[in-house]
Amino acid sequence: MKNLIVALIVLVSFSSCQEQHKVAFVDNTKVIDDYQMKIDIEKKFEDQSTAFNKKRDSIGQVYQMEVQTIQMKLSRMSQRKQEEESQKFQQKWQPIQQQMQFQQQQMEQSFNTEIELVLEKVNGFVDDYGKKNGYTFIFGKNRAGSIMYGAEAKDITKTLTEAINKAYENKDEAKKEAKTLEDETEE
């Protein structure tokens, strides 16, 4: 009887040691780069940046024209009058330059905030995906070398990227349907 209990304990211990863990890895950079939400954010900010650059260039052209005009005027003035006019010119343009810098900083800050949201969404999605699909571990591969090698069969980057983009697309479609319904209701 004692031998049977010891054998049973050994058998249970052995079988628990043999428990298989479902393990996979994803290429973090690839998932994030191919995530449609990130692509959409980059496109939005690229468009904003293009518009901002056109505005900045236009203001820059006006500034350059005024610089040329004031230089011609200054050459015909006394030293004291030149200093006064130069100071007026600088005071006129300083707020405009500050406003342009502020707008650029706001765009960069907004972009960084939205990219942080992308990272949070990807991490949350991977967490949920792992739980729903019975994974014990999903490791992240990146350029820094957290995983130096992984068997191709354990790489779920493509599957996960497709799943997160499908989830994003479904949310986007739901928003569009809600907007359409809202517009129809208003009419």
CA distance 114 to 118: 6
Identify the residue whose tokens are 């068997």.
Answer: 151
**Pair 139, 150: CB distance under 8 Å:** yes
Phi, psi dihedral angles at 140 (to 5 degrees): -110, 125
- Residues with Cβ < 8 Å from 133, sequence gap 6 or more? 22
Tokens of 117: 């949201």
Residue-wise pLDDT for 135-161, tens only, equals 999 988 887 767 777 888 888 999 999
The pLDDT score that the predictor gives to residue 10 is 47
Residue-wise pLDDT for 93-141, tens only, equals 899 999 999 999 999 999 999 999 999 999 999 999 999 999 999 988 8
CA distance 51 to 54: 5
Residue-wise pLDDT for 14-38, tens only, equals 545 555 788 998 998 899 999 999 9
pLDDT bracket for residue 174 (50, 70, 90): low
Q: Does domain 20-166 sit in CATH 1.20.910.10?
A: no
Average pLDDT of the segment spanning 77-98:
88
